[in-house]
Amino acid sequence: MAAEVEEKKQKKRISKESLKRAKSIMRYLSPYRKHFIFGLILLFLSSITTLLVPRLMGQLAGIGLSEKEQEWLLDIGPLHLDMMDLNTIGIILFAVFFVQGLISFLKIYVFSFVSEYMIRDLRKDVYAHMIRLPMVFFVEQRVGELNSRISADISAIQETFTTTLAEFIRQVIVILLGVAFLFYTSPDLTMVMLITLPLMMIVAVFFGKFIRKLSKQTQDEVAVSNGQVQETLIGIVNVKSFTTEVFESIRYASSVEIIRSIAMRSAIWRGLFGAFIIIFLFGSIAIVIWRGAVLMQQGQLDAALFFSFLLYTVMIGASFGGIASQYASVQKAMGSIEAVLDLLEEGAEDIPLANPDSILKKLKGEIEFKNVSFFYPSRPDETVIKDLNLHVKAGEKVALVGPSGAGKSTLASLILAFYNPSEGTIRYDGEDVSRIGLNDLRRNMAFVPQEVLLFSGSVRDNIKYGTPDATEQEVMKAAEDAQVIEFIDRFETGLDTLIGDRGIQLSGGQKQRLAIARALLKDPAILILDEATSSLDSSSEKSVQLALEKLMEGRTSVIIAHRLSTIRDADRIIVLDGGKKVEEGKHEELLAKTNGLYRTLSELQFSES
């Protein structure tokens, strides 16, 4: 999938519409436009000094100036005496190299300065925008592709503004000014050169691109065949037990036959490319030299000018080839620009990034669902929550139970405002979420999932995640109440212990207690627990349950439970089935219902245990 996306980017055509969209990325260049303009001036000067080199080299090879130039200099004064001196020309040539080197340094520095600051601003905006996108966006996207927007695509844009764009402009200047000089030197010879050499250079570039594509196909097929070998050797027990040796041999033979076929095609085209270079490209150069020799014999072209002409021809031919290569890079960059713009144009949630720690509205914790129905945007034909009415009082402990697919986790997502209801309204403390604001709403909530995600760093960093300004005393209090101290004291560095990527060095129970400590430190009005103990052993569950009891004290708690034994003390149990509320009451009341779903689920769990 990623390879297909990358291939589409590389094939992106530069159209009026794509150029119009690309202009919006230029706003990141605007704060540094003075530096960019200075870089363009340096670029022009660099091109001029580059074009001086072949002329001075021609003077050295032609022993000074041509007769026409000497006559012209005689008319303007004694300057011709110094210019005709080879030592003087050598000094001037060295001075041009020095100036060219200095300009090249400044040019690279200025364009790098502009691109680095521009890309810094772009990265910050893309990331800040991406993390404010709604949950529905992340459900429909691959993490690898989103990471590619931040890394590969923005790097491609950076490469364009650092080198590709500057090099493209430089090549254009070299071609235009170089062709102008060639016409001034010899219009006849210039026409011969323009008819043959540039066209051959462009064809050679595309020829080479096609051969590289065939070479890549060969490498890809070799990788596939190597993968087959690796799979077969790793699963050799299965191969032997199922007697599939013949099948595996045929499969591998088919793969290497494909490699041979592509490699032979590549060999044919490489041979044709070599013949093309010898016959046409070198032939074009030979035609230009032959025509120049004829003109020199006829006295229409000076030897020094002809040598300069050849150097300019090589330079212009290389520039034509370079433009084709740069154009391909620009095409790829246009695809990256559009991919980044598509991300920036996605509608984000209204979450202000300025002063995110401030809570403008403190909630009591009352939740009300009124005639709420919901379906996921990717599955509009399947209604997950159906005409639900639910009222949770502030400080009440409510449990949600039901079979798999009943809508429990979806209900938790709706409470967190990860999604908007398809129908109906959700109110908090009697107010609609639109009047509260997502930032204030979620800062009044804490969520402890079944699969806890911890961040690489220390235990302290993970506890303080979401409450970065917490004091050391507050962190220690949360760690004690969540039973984290029980296992942290065994670590040599205590709260400063590094837990590794995603908390790999901690057990499931330790991760859960760390997540509870994080929630305690946040001091939320509303707490959502999504089967927080379902995957733990009995010993870990007991420790986590003690921490949860401390966490739920005095808070509105919505508990999604799989083990019904953990919710016996809930103030109210809501039984869901097929997205609807089918039962409601306390543990004993629901067990008393003869044909009730809750009683059925309880009996099933009891028989399993």
Confidence class for position 426, pLDDT limits 50, 70, 90: very high
Residue 373 lies in a domain: yes
Distance CA(312)–CA(55), nearest Å, equals 8
Q: Report which secondary-structure segment, H or E, holds 601.
A: helix 597-608
Confidence class for position 361, pLDDT limits 50, 70, 90: confident
Residue 358: how many CA atoms within 13 Å on its side-chain side? 5
Angle at 589 between CA 586 and CA 592, to 5 degrees: 150
- CATH number for the domain including 606? 3.40.50.300
The amino acid occupying position 502 is R
Give the tens place of pLDDT for each residue, 250-281: 888 888 888 888 878 877 877 777 777 667 76
Distance CA(214)–CA(269), nearest Å, equals 9
Distance CA(103)–CA(105), nearest Å, equals 5
Residue 457 lies in a domain: no
- Residue 388 pLDDT greater than 50, yes or no: yes
Predicted pLDDT of residue 515: 85
Instruction: Decide the pairing of beta strands 397-401 and 572-577.
Output: parallel
- Tell whether 127 and 42 lie within a shared domain: yes
Mapped onto helix, strand or coil, the DSSP state of residue 405 is coil
8 A C-beta contact, residue 504 and residue 568: no
Q: Where are the alpha helices (DSSP H) in 430-525?
A: 433-436, 438-443, 459-463, 472-481, 485-488, 508-522
Segment 554-573 shows an average pLDDT of 83
Segment 132-155 shows an average pLDDT of 79
Distance CA(269)–CA(140), nearest Å, equals 43
Most confident of 75-84, 210-219, 418-427: 418-427
Domain range enclosing 150:
1-185+326-348
- Residue 186 pLDDT greater than 90, yes or no: no
State both tokens at 207.
Answer: 């020829």
8 A C-beta contact, residue 118 and residue 32: yes
CA-based diameter of the chain, in Å? 120
Residue appearing with tokens 């986790």 = 409
Predicted pLDDT of residue 501: 67
Confidence class for position 373, pLDDT limits 50, 70, 90: very high
- Tell whether 24 and 119 lie within a shared domain: yes
Predicted pLDDT of residue 595: 82
State both tokens at 238.
Answer: 């299965």
Q: Where are the alpha helices (DSSP H) in 153-244?
A: 154-159, 165-185, 187-234, 236-241
8 A C-beta contact, residue 368 and residue 390: yes
Least confident of 101-115, 239-253, 283-297, 332-346: 283-297
The amino acid occupying position 547 is A
Mapped onto helix, strand or coil, the DSSP state of residue 489 is coil
Residue 309 lies in a domain: no
- Tell whether 116 and 221 lie within a shared domain: no
- Tell whether 27 and 75 lie within a shared domain: yes
Residue 320 lies in a domain: no
Please state the domain count of the chain.
Answer: 3
How many Å from the N-terminal Cα to the C-terminal Cα in the chain? Answer: 44
Distance CA(194)–CA(188), nearest Å, equals 10
- Residue 61 pLDDT greater than 80, yes or no: no
- Residue 96 pLDDT greater than 50, yes or no: yes
- Tell whether 25 and 170 lie within a shared domain: yes
Burial class (CB in 10 A: 0-12, 13-18, 19+), 549: exposed
Predicted pLDDT of residue 2: 43
Residue 461 lies in a domain: no
Distance CA(387)–CA(369), nearest Å, equals 9
Domain final position from 348, 381, 416 = 348
Least confident of 75-89, 218-232, 288-302, 476-490: 75-89
More confident residue, 246 or 545: 246
Predicted pLDDT of residue 533: 62
8 A C-beta contact, residue 605 and residue 433: no
Residue 37 lies in a domain: yes
Distance CA(533)–CA(541), nearest Å, equals 6
Segment 444-463 shows an average pLDDT of 83
Q: Is the CA virtual torsion 35, 37, 39, 42 positive or negative?
A: negative
What is this structure's pTM?
Answer: 0.70
- Tell whether 41 and 153 lie within a shared domain: yes
Most confident of 144-153, 334-343, 420-429: 420-429
516: closest CA among 541, 489, 566, 479? 479
- Tell whether 76 and 132 lie within a shared domain: yes
Residue 15 lies in a domain: yes
How does 81-99 read in b/e, with b if 16+ C-beta sit within 10 Å? eeebeeeebeeebeebeee
Least confident of 80-89, 97-106, 493-502: 80-89
- Tell whether 83 and 171 lie within a shared domain: yes
Mapped onto helix, strand or coil, the DSSP state of residue 540 is helix
State both tokens at 56.
Answer: 């001075």
Segment 574-583 shows an average pLDDT of 89
- Tell whether 93 and 166 lie within a shared domain: yes
Q: Average pLDDT, whole number, for the chain? A: 78
Predicted pLDDT of residue 5: 47
Residue appearing with tokens 């040599």 = 492
Mapped onto helix, strand or coil, the DSSP state of residue 376 is coil
Q: Report which secondary-structure segment, H or E, holds 572.
A: strand 572-577
Distance CA(72)–CA(65), nearest Å, equals 10
Give the tens place of pLDDT for each residue, 296-305: 777 777 766 7
- Tell whether 37 and 174 lie within a shared domain: yes
State both tokens at 535.
Answer: 């995957």
Predicted pLDDT of residue 600: 85
- Residue 226 pLDDT greater than 70, yes or no: yes
Segment 167-195 shows an average pLDDT of 79
Query: Cα dist. 96→6, 79, 82, 319 in Å?
Result: 43, 19, 17, 20
Predicted pLDDT of residue 304: 65
8 A C-beta contact, residue 447 and residue 473: no
Confidence class for position 360, pLDDT limits 50, 70, 90: low
Distance CA(165)–CA(150), nearest Å, equals 21
- Percentage of the chain beyond pLDDT 70 is 81
8 A C-beta contact, residue 363 and residue 441: yes
Least confident of 27-41, 81-95, 340-354, 517-531: 81-95
Residue 478 lies in a domain: no
542: closest CA among 587, 578, 509, 584? 509
Predicted pLDDT of residue 82: 40
- Tell whether 278 and 426 lie within a shared domain: no
Confidence class for position 4, pLDDT limits 50, 70, 90: very low
Q: Where are the alpha helices (DSSP H) in 375-430?
A: 408-415
Mapped onto helix, strand or coil, the DSSP state of residue 312 is helix
Mapped onto helix, strand or coil, the DSSP state of residue 560 is strand
- Residue 545 pLDDT greater than 70, yes or no: yes
287: closest CA among 187, 183, 194, 182? 194
- Percentage of the chain beyond pLDDT 90 is 6
The count of residues in the chain is 609
- Residue 51 pLDDT greater than 60, yes or no: yes
The amino acid occupying position 367 is I
- CATH number for the domain including 150? 1.20.1560.10
Angle at 511 between CA 510 and CA 512, to 5 degrees: 90
- Tell whether 170 and 257 lie within a shared domain: no
Collect all residues with Cβ–Cβ distance below 8 Å to 145 and sequence separation of at least 6: 1, 2, 5
